[in-house]
Structure formats: C-alpha cells, structure tokens
Copies of this chain bind each other. A is one copy, B any other.
Amino acid sequence: MISEKMLELGRKRSEIREIFEYGKKRGSEIGADKVFDFSIGNPNVPAPEFIKETIIDLLMNEDPTKIHGYTSAQGDLSVRKALADHINSKYGTDITADHFYLTAGAAASLSMCCRALAIPGDEFLTFAPYFPEYKVYVESAGAVLSVIPANTENFQVDLEKFEKAVNKNTKAVIINSPNNPSGVVYSLDTIKKICSIMEKKSEEFGHVIYLVSDEPYRELVYGDVEVPFLLNHYDNTFVCYSYSKSLSLPGERIGYVLVSNRMHDAEDVYAAVCGAGRALGYVCAPSLFQYLIARCIGRTSDISIYKKNRDILYSALKEMGYECAKPDGAFYLFVKALEPDAAAFCEKAKKHEILLVPGDDFGCPGYVRISYCVRTDQIEASLPAFEKLAAEYKK
C-alpha cells in the first residue's frame, strides 16, 4: 500500500551506514577507542578554529533575521558571487553567480542533477569503483545506472570499455576524482580521453552527453598531484561540490551545483536544477553555513593529518603484504581482500575490531575500503590488528 521502492530503500540501508551504526554500538560496549572504525567518511580532523571564530563573529555582528533567514532558493546572491569570483580566479573560468545553486551537500547536488536531466529510458554511466548512492539517485530520478567495470591495474578508468558502453540512451556520465573508494586521482590524460570519447559520442548520437563531476575531495590531494578542473575540459559539465570534507563539516550539509556557463542551453539546464530542488523539498541551503563558506573561501582543514595517516597506513599495509591502489587523494585506501569474498574478509576483520566496507557495493568485488579520516593514534593502534588479520591468512 505504501511505496515499495521507498520501503526497500529504507529497509536495506546503505551498507556503509549499517557498518557505521554497528561501530557506534560496538564502541559503546567495549569503548570507542577499542573499535577501529574505518567505515565512514566522517572526517576526524576537527573543523578548523576559524570555523568556530567565523560562526561566532556572524552571530555577534550580523542581524539574526539575515543569517538565519530564508535566502533565495539558489542561495544568497553575495555568497554565490564570492564563489564565482574564487573559481574564476583559481581556474581561469568566466562563470557568474547565476551558475551556482547552493545545496545541502553533494548528495543533494547529485540527486538534483539526476532529476534535472533524467527522462524515462535514460541511462547514466559511471566507473567502478563508485559511490553506491549514485545508483539510488539515478534510479530515483527514473533512469538506470550502468557501471564500467574497474580497471584494477591502476584504478584509472577502462577507456575501451567506456567507449563501447556509451550508447544512444546515455544521458550523462558521473565521475568522482579524487575517487571514493579508491583514493585515486584521475590523471589529466584520463580526463582528456574521457572527454574526447564523450564529445565524439555526443556527435555520433546527435545529442548532448552531460558530465556530472562529484568533487567533495577536490582539495584533498597529497604531494604534487593536480586535479584537473572539468569546466576547462568539457563544456557540458556539472560540478557537484561539498564542504563536508574540505572544511570537516559533513553534518552541516552545505555544498553546491555549478552548471558550466558553456553548457548547451545552460540557462534551461540551470532552471531545471532549480526545479529539481523545488520538487525535492529543498527550500534553501542552511543559511548560517552559506554565509560561513563565503567567509572561508579557499581555506581548508588541516589536511596534512590525512597525508600522515595515508603514509603510515599505506606503507604498513604494503609491508604486511596487502595489495593496494596508490592513493593520491581523498582519505580512502582500496585494499585487495585476502580472500575472494570481500564480505567474508570484512567479517574476519570485525573479529579484530577492524570495521571495513566490502568493495561489492562500490562495484568492485574482492576489495575493501578503508576510510583513514580517523585520528592518527587510532591508525597506529590498529596496525597490530591488521597484522594479526594478515597472519590468519598465512597459516
């Protein structure tokens, strides 16, 4: 009698969330310090001091009816202007405030882009490994998600399979780099080849194929790796951004959709994004945090902690014999399970109080995701457990 689809989505919760809930419960039983919860991308680097200071400054010096009041649905104009200026000066683009729609985070951004674009019969493509909620957003918008199998050589993309997969029903391609769950950053070469295939196929099929770039980890890269800015490589691009990771504000739900000014019919597409926001019940992005991000433009949390975590964990795991993609960004390691069944491997890890997420839901069986956005001492404390886990398989 009620919606079977929603019931199913609600009953079978996201696997990541299930493990996260287990971790909280287990932590309350044996002490949170004893559980090595690598399940969720909940940054353990605290939001920087300037976040606290800026919020207090807004509260003390601005009119409460402004900072807590409705903004325009697409976000406060001054905030959107500040974002456009920043992106233009950083990436040499020429977008305006009217290309931004502030959202309740990247999940909302993706959900809105899917709904703005999808018509029945449409297909969206993405590359494994991929964030499992893509499937939920695409299907809820009435389209289907097809997945290009992972290139487990180096976790760049399998271009040959991609080129074959694009077809007349392909409405959009979702990419995510730095990647969740692999931590891999798609190289400039990879990006150029993806875009070139998309341009060729758009022409072949006589319709636009959109690129939806999910970029919550854009700033989280280590060493001299660069993340290409996709507006400069493909005209029909949406950028879905979130401050969850870069400013350690995941619970606050603040991010944006950026519609490229060079997009075909950019104005209509932007209007459809606004329509999708309205249909979903988004009234405006949380207002205090809109004003906050405008004041914190270009700043990030202390991401050196993630680099340190990555370095410790990556080299320790390699030394113990684990196989792992080279992680240049985000805060994930994607490790080959020590048996073919990743879920069984995760169950064994759980016995050592290590909580991992099987790669199956990310479209990449046989691997597990480790979220290393935890305190460095927790990483260090977990190493003997990883060692014991590896030893079990050496018996």
Most chain B CB within a 10 A radius of its CB, from A10, A72, A286: A10
- Chain A binding surface SS class: helix
> Given A269-B2, A288-B252: A278 and B116 within 8 A (CB)?
no
Contact with B along A52-89 (1 / 0, CB 8 A): 10011001100111011111110000000000000000
Contacting pair B52 A65 (CB below 8 A): no
Task: Tell me if B65 and A55 are in contact (CB < 8 A).
Answer: no
B73 and A17 form a contact (CB under 8 A) = yes
**Chain B residue at minimal CB-CB distance from A286:** B286
Known pairs A69-B251, A70-B250, A268-B7; A283 contacts B115 (CB<8 A) = no
- Per a CB cutoff under 8 Å, which of B40, B68, B253, B278 touches A136? B278
Q: Does A346 contact B (CB under 8 A)?
A: no
| CB of A104 within 8 Å of the partner chain | yes
Q: Are A40 and B3 in contact (CB under 8 A)?
A: no
* The residue from B2, B282, B284 contacting A119, defined by CB atoms under 8 A apart: B2
Q: Which of A9, A20, A283 has the most CB of B within 10 A?
A: A283
Contact A8 B56 (CB under 8 A): no
Which B residues lie within 8 Å of A42 (CB)? Answer: 65, 69-70
A277 → chain B, closest Cβ, in Å?
A: 8
Considering only residues 324-382 of chain A, those with a C-beta below 8 Å from chain B are none
Given contacts A116-B2, A280-B140, contact A271 B46 (CB under 8 A): no
Interface, chain A (partner B; CB < 8 A): 1-11, 13-14, 17, 20-21, 40, 42-47, 51-52, 55-56, 59-60, 63-65, 67-73, 104-105, 107-112, 115-119, 133, 136-137, 140-141, 207-208, 248-253, 265, 268-290
The 5 A-B pairs with the shortest beta carbon distances in the complex, nearest first, are A251-B287, A111-B281, A10-B275, A9-B275, A10-B271
Question: Could you list 29 A-B pairs, sorted by A, with CB under 8 Å?
Answer: A2-B119, A2-B265, A3-B118, A3-B119, A3-B272, A4-B119, A6-B279, A9-B274, A9-B275, A10-B116, A10-B272, A10-B274, A40-B70, A45-B65, A47-B64, A67-B251, A68-B248, A68-B249, A104-B104, A104-B282, A104-B286, A107-B281, A111-B279, A140-B279, A140-B280, A251-B284, A252-B287, A252-B288, A253-B286
